[in-house]
Chains A and B, each alone.
Chain A
Amino acid sequence: MKEQDYNSHFLVPYLLIIPSMIILIFFLYWPTLQSFFLSLYRTAPFGSRVIYSGLDNYKKLFTDPSYLDSLQRSAVFVLITIFGGLTFSLVLATFLNKKLKGIHIYRTIFFIPYAISPTVAGSLWVFLLNPVAGHVNYVLDFLFGFQVPWLTNGFFAFIAIIIATIWKNMGFNIIFFLAGLQSIPDSVYESAKIDGANSWQIFRKITIPLLSPTTFYLIIMNILFTVFQAFGIIDIMTQGGPANATNLVIYKLYRDMFVNFRPGLAAAQSVVLLFLVLIITFFHFRYGSKGVHYQ
């Protein structure tokens, strides 16, 4: 039997990563580079004029109050959506962790929103919140005698897209929380009970700390979800309105690129987003394994 000569196979690892590198280069690195270059130019529609403008697009972006507003708005949106969404999902996951008859059916039902497309989800909520024939207002009117201007008032429209986004991502969060909950050994709970802890204490002192790796992972994933995937829901439900109340960074980018014919400015926004994602990823790698309680 011949000895494995690793030195003569120095090409093998490179050959092995070539397929994924090709995909990454063509679909990720190359477009990223392109948008960086694009952000240094002002381009006329259909590319008939291309004018080098240095960092003007970035200057314009950061002196534009509407962009700063939309950054701030996005931050608020992300914070509320993640806090609300994760809390809600955790509560539901605890219920779904019970040993009930037909629990699989309930679990499937809660996962469905994640499986449908954002467009369908958005349309569904538009339908429910419709000022003319919406079910939500009908029920509110029937029970409490008032109606809410859901999509025509800036504040409520903002709430509406938060609700829709939380609902949409709920399935994903519940699945991970469920997996996390089920990996906590029963023995821990039993010993806590023997020591006389009540259910709140158990939840607070045992469940939450032991779930923290899952929670941390979900926070990172949810940031990415809410920043990027909110687009579909916003486009269908509010188109960034009323009066820009739901115009988040990703929607503004889309609009500058595809409606306002400003590819340079849109590219600059995508570079800014890229840096934000890099920061989040850095935190994920840096603190993903520390400061979080693993078993």
Chain B
Amino acid sequence: MRKITMLLALSLVLVLTFSAAAQEDPITINFWHAMGGHNLEVTETLVERFNEQHANIEVVPQNTGTYNDTLTKTESAVRSGDAPHIVQIYEIGTQVMVDSGIIIPIEELGREVAQDDSFDWGKFLTPVSNYYQVDGQLNSMPFNSSTPILYYNKDAFKEAGLDPNDPPQTFSELKEYAEQLTIRNEDGDVERYGFTLGIVGWFVEQMVANQDALLVNNNNGRDGRATESYLDQEPAVRFVELWKEMVEEEIMLNPGRGWDGAKQAFLSGRAAMMIESTAQVTNFSENAEASGYELGTAFLPRPDGVDRGGVIIGGASLWALRDHPQEELEAAWEFLSFLTEEAQQVYWFEQTGYFPVTKSAVEREMNNQFFAENPNHMTAFLQLLLSKKGAPTQGALIGTFPEVRQIVESAIEETLQGTMTPQEAMEDAAAQVDESLQEYNSLYQ
């Protein structure tokens, strides 16, 4: 009897030691991301869930500031040799990451390193995987995706005698509606603008795609490196012209560069319509409910008589960095693949307003009537799904995209200040972009 007790005790000690050892050194995966505020909490919840389910892996999330900061910090981390395993990079960083030589394409990671045969590579929504596919393979894991839509205040529409269920579809309608929605006091000062839009390069890119046109040559840089920009052509110039006209006629508020001013103007009722990311649907809906007005959403307007194209996926994706031991890469893959599972996708979507990136998550939201109850989420989704497939809506690949965006923003500012005509400003921008492309491409010859 004593022997058996002894044996039991010994084996218990053994088991405890082993399990303790297993718990003692889980593989640490550093995950850098740019999600702030509410989205930070959602991201951390997802990580916690993963860590609870995986005793041998510990993902450590770290907020590294804005998208741009994250890219910069990754660069210096790579140089000093302590790069994270997974990093969230905005969509316009795609080309520079592909060229960086520090990443491992996600398809290679899943198929060859982790040998995960059960992963379904066809599970992503086509517009999403189209964007992140370069040279025939998926380079990064789609994560938070969004597109721009038109938001409008239905109560303001009713007040102005417009049909709240008939939002503007064309540039000329947008202008007409904005005129009717603008309210001036007896001194002629504008009390409410019909429309507002922050100066953000992304909107120009989207408006060009919405006219089924390319932003740069070589099929938006998808068939080879882009060498020439099309910013000086009709689709982009036309939109900047509309922008200038509407600001000059004081039916559109110019809130300056960036996102915050326009959002503030719309939410406080100073403007009746605006274009913003679909990632704001939840936020705007809550605000509308709290302030007691009805929120409407619509597809982006197009110039009259132009073929419809569609929207490009925006947001960010997750990149794996190559320079780590095999077992850490496998653990990183485990986490990335976990994020694309239905439960996580649905949670992410409902909490943040970013699209789910997989088909099954969309199906589940259809079945549980989420879209029926939230028509504004539906608008965002349909616009994406109804986008024409092709290089224009696949999105441009440009190595110096962050710089290009700033060049475009500067050009819009020149136009709105009246120092240049839209055509001149966009020609100037196109020349600067061409130079930037040439400079970048020459590094990789």
Interface residues of A (CB under 8 A from B): 42, 44-49, 51, 130-133, 141, 145, 147, 149, 151-154, 238-239, 241-244, 255, 258-262
In terms of DSSP, what is the predominant structure of the interface of chain A? loop
B88 at the interface (CB under 8 A from A): no
Give chain B nearest CB distance to A183 CB in angstroms. 46
Q: Complex Cα distance A283/B154, Å?
A: 65
Interface residues on B, range: 35 or more
* Contact partner, A154, options B72, B417, B436, B439, Cβ 8 Å: B417
- B residues 75-117 with Cβ under 8 Å of A? 75, 78-79, 96, 99-102
- Please, could you name 11 A-B residue pairs with CB atoms under 8 Å apart, sorted by A? A47-B79, A130-B264, A131-B254, A132-B261, A133-B264, A152-B255, A154-B419, A242-B416, A243-B414, A243-B419, A259-B403
By beta carbon, the residue of chain B nearest A263 is B75
Q: Complex Cα distance A149/B253, Å?
A: 11
Give chain A nearest CB distance to B197 CB in angstroms. 12
- B residues 398-440 with Cβ under 8 Å of A? 399-400, 402-403, 406, 409-411, 413-414, 416-417, 419, 436, 439-440
Give chain A nearest CB distance to B125 CB in angstroms. 29
Question: Are B256 and A152 touching (Cβ within 8 A)?
Answer: yes
Give chain B nearest CB distance to A273 CB in angstroms. 20
By beta carbon, the residue of chain A nearest B69 is A258
B68 at the interface (CB under 8 A from A): yes
Q: Complex Cα distance A162/B255, Å?
A: 21
Tell whether A45 pairs with B270 under 8 Å between CB atoms, given A242-B256, A242-B417. Answer: no
Tell whether A46 pairs with B403 under 8 Å between CB atoms, given A131-B253, A153-B417, A259-B68. Answer: no
Tell whether A243 pairs with B410 under 8 Å between CB atoms, given A49-B443, A132-B255. Answer: yes
- B residues 179-197 with Cβ under 8 Å of A? 187, 189
B residues within 8 A CB of A152? 254-256, 413, 416
Tell whether A47 pairs with B78 under 8 Å between CB atoms, given A131-B261, A241-B413, A243-B410. Answer: yes
* Contact partner, B261, options A44, A130, A239, Cβ 8 Å: A130
- Chain B 57-83, CB within 8 Å of chain A: the 1/0 string? 000000000001000100100110000
* Contact partner, B100, options A45, A132, A151, A242, Cβ 8 Å: A45
A residues within 8 A CB of B332? none
Question: Are A46 and B256 touching (Cβ within 8 A)?
Answer: no
Question: Are A42 and B255 touching (Cβ within 8 A)?
Answer: no
Give chain B nearest CB distance to A258 CB in angstroms. 5
Give chain A nearest CB distance to B404 CB in angstroms. 10
B residues within 8 A CB of A42? 443
B268 at the interface (CB under 8 A from A): yes
By beta carbon, the residue of chain B nearest A265 is B439
Give chain A nearest CB distance to B443 CB in angstroms. 4
Question: Are A243 and B413 touching (Cβ within 8 A)?
Answer: yes
Question: Are B261 and A45 touching (Cβ within 8 A)?
Answer: no
Question: Are B413 and A132 touching (Cβ within 8 A)?
Answer: no
A residues within 8 A CB of B416? 152, 242
By beta carbon, the residue of chain B nearest A247 is B410
Question: Are A244 and B410 touching (Cβ within 8 A)?
Answer: yes
B residues within 8 A CB of A47? 75, 78-79
Q: Complex Cα distance A44/B411, Å?
A: 26
Give chain A nearest CB distance to B264 CB in angstroms. 6
Residue in A130, A149, A239, A261 whose Cβ sees the most chain B Cβ within 10 Å: A261
Tell whether A45 pairs with B75 under 8 Å between CB atoms, given A152-B254, A242-B257. Answer: yes
Question: Are A45 and B99 touching (Cβ within 8 A)?
Answer: yes
Q: Complex Cα distance A82/B97, Å?
A: 44
Q: Complex Cα distance A147/B264, Å?
A: 18
Q: Complex Cα distance A233/B102, Å?
A: 34
B residues within 8 A CB of A243? 410-411, 413-414, 417, 419
Give chain A nearest CB distance to B100 CB in angstroms. 4
Q: Complex Cα distance A9/B417, Å?
A: 70
B residues within 8 A CB of A145? 187
Give chain A nearest CB distance to B393 CB in angstroms. 26
Q: Complex Cα distance A261/B441, Å?
A: 13
Q: Complex Cα distance A238/B258, Å?
A: 10
A residues within 8 A CB of B413? 152, 154, 241-243
Residue in B255, B256, B265, B444 whose Cβ sees the most chain A Cβ within 10 Å: B256
Q: Complex Cα distance A123/B205, Å?
A: 29
Give chain A nearest CB distance to B98 CB in angstroms. 11
With A130-B264, A132-B265 given, name 11 new contacts (CB 8 A): A48-B101, A48-B102, A151-B256, A153-B417, A154-B413, A239-B257, A241-B256, A242-B199, A242-B417, A258-B72, A259-B402
